């Protein structure tokens, strides 16, 4: 047969030099232009643990981890073995008129971490989990309203986008789902006002907001849970990015002793290889949706419980437990935040370091000295948040660290590394940030020359 010798890894090697041209022609040309403009088109060839390797063999430290999916690192051997074992076993996958053994195992293991919840619904992604949560909340309560927080990110499908108020994502796609109301993050009075109508099915919240790494006050999440109980609203924790050990606890809500009615998981649960999401919920909610035999399939997703996805989730939990990665995230994250926080007094552009575990935000802000202020204002006038590119681009080009700005117009650089980073990696991060931030205080200087290039690009874009 023609396909008997199909080797996709060989295909990757043969065609990798054409990746940009293929994407420009057949996929997203604008993304190709962005990568070339900021110098990120290095042609990554290999990923191993917390490291990436480019076409020249240079090693990079990955603080992006695929938007958090590689919590256990890239190509973990235990995950690879689990996936191979499924492929080698001829399992009766996705029969549909049957139930999945591996889905039962993964659900059982997930619920052990969250013993106050009873049922699991599997999906293919975080966005699908958000969609399911909206449907479950409305179906279980008979209410139409959904309340969410300003600056939240809950996905780019229509339901998720309706709970995401960033105009950069919403523009051109409205009108969105009716009945969705935004309140300020950390504002319990505004939440109570929204819930007092008793028409709100669910309050959905990220315990720590991914866009900006915005932290809740100590009172907000417990107070929100109490208000939801008072007004008969379901409390939904979107732990798609914060869950599975990222913050030094299995769930971020554990830091505030909160027990939601629903928990949404995805990203890290996949191990980075096979997309998977999970909605963990109370039996009382679940049973109102799947309440009789002719509604057994009232909500679902064709590939949601496929054996590869379930195996990836099982293997990921095994690795996290056996390598004690939740404790490692707490320890390494605290050390890294402390090291970066110690830099704040020495640099007027560096404002704050915040986060939990290995979800860290490094925030920059306007300086006081006249020379730096003038340069800052030029960048801000061209495009709000542009200064952070003067940090992330040199981190990448000069120090081989891949990270990101935490959102449109944001002054915060987000660190979201694999939970497997070492003490040496932390030193690498500390040294690189210290060097780049120091350079950003030298005007004129190489970093501000980069700033002029970015301003020119921003001006051309606006024109």
Task: Give the residue numbers marked as catalytic.
Answer: 153, 238, 267
Q: Is 296 helix (H, G, I), strand (E, B) or coil?
A: coil
Order of all β-strands in the sheet with 412-415: 350-356, 359-364, 412-415, 404-405
* Contact indicator for 246, 359 with CB cutoff of 8 Å: yes
DSSP state of 313: H
422-to-54, 266, 434 alpha-carbon distances in Å? 21, 24, 18
Q: In 264-405, where does DSSP find H-type helix? A: 283-289, 307-322, 325-341, 370-382, 389-399
Q: Is the peptide bond before 444 cis (omega within 30 degrees of 0)?
A: yes
* Contact indicator for 402, 418 with CB cutoff of 8 Å: no
| Residue whose structure tokens are 């980069």 | 450
* Contact indicator for 61, 50 with CB cutoff of 8 Å: yes
Stretch (H or E) spanning 436: helix 423-440
Q: How many CA atoms lie within 13 A of 228 on its CB side?
A: 27
* Contact indicator for 252, 225 with CB cutoff of 8 Å: no
Q: Give the torsion sign (CA, 107, 223, 204, 359).
A: negative
Which residues does 392 contact at the CB level (< 8 Å), separation at least 6?
403, 404, 405, 413
User: CA 64, 66, 67: angle at the middle one, nearest 5?
Assistant: 70
State how beta strands 412-415 and 404-405 pair. Answer: antiparallel
| Residue whose structure tokens are 């279980």 | 140
């Amino acid at each position: 047969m023609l396909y008997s010798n199909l080797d996709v890894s060989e295909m990757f090697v043969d065609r990798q030099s054409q990746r940009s041209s293929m994407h420009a022609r057949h996929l997203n040309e604008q993304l190709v232009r962005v990568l070339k403009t900021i110098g990120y088109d290095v042609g990554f060839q290999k990923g191993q643990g917390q490291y990436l390797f480019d076409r020249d063999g240079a090693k990079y430290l990955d603080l992006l981890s695929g938007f958090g999916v590689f919590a256990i690192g890239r190509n973990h051997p235990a995950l690879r073995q689990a996936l191979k074992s499924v492929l080698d076993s001829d399992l009766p996958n996705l029969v549909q008129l049957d139930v999945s053994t591996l889905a039962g195992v993964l659900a059982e293991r997930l619920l052990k971490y969250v013993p106050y919840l009873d049922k699991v619904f599997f999906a293919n992604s975080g966005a699908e989990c958000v969609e399911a949560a909206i449907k479950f909340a409305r179906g279980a309560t008979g209410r139409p309203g959904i309340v969410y927080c300003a600056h939240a990110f809950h996905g780019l499908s229509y339901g998720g986008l309706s709970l995401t108020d960033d105009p950069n994502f919403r523009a051109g796609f409205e009108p969105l789902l009716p009945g969705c109301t935004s309140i300020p993050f950390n504002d319990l009075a505004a939440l109570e006002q929204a819930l007092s109508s008793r028409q709100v099915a669910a309050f959905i919240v990220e315990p720590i907001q991914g866009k900006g790494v915005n932290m809740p006050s100590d009172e907000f999440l417990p107070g929100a849970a109490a208000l939801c109980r008072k007004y008969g609203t379901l409390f939904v924790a979107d732990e798609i990015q914060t869950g599975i050990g990222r913050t030094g606890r299995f769930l971020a809500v554990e830091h505030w002793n909160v027990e939601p009615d629903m928990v949404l998981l995805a990203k890290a649960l996949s191990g980075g290889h096979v997309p998977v999401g999970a909605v963990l919920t109370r039996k009382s909610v679940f049973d109102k949706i799947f309440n009789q035999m002719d509604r057994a399939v009232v909500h679902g997703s064709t590939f949601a419980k496929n054996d590869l996805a379930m195996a990836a989730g099982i293997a990921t939990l095994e690795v996290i437990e056996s390598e004690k990665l939740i404790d490692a995230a707490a320890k390494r994250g605290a050390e890294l935040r402390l090291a970066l926080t110690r830099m704040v007094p020495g640099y007027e552009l560096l404002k704050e370091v915040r986060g939990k575990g290995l979800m860290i935000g490094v925030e920059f802000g306007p300086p006081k000295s006249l020379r730096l202020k003038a340069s800052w204002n030029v960048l801000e006038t061209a495009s709000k948040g542009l200064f952070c590119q003067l940090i992330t681009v040199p981190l990448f080009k000069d120090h081989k660290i891949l990270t990101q700005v935490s959102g449109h117009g944001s002054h915060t650089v987000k660190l979201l590394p694999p939970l497997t980073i070492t003490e040496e990696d932390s030193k690498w991060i500390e040294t690189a940030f210290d060097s780049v931030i120091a350079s950003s205080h030298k005007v004129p200087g190489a970093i501000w020359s980069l700033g002029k290039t970015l301003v020119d690009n921003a001006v051309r874009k606006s024109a």
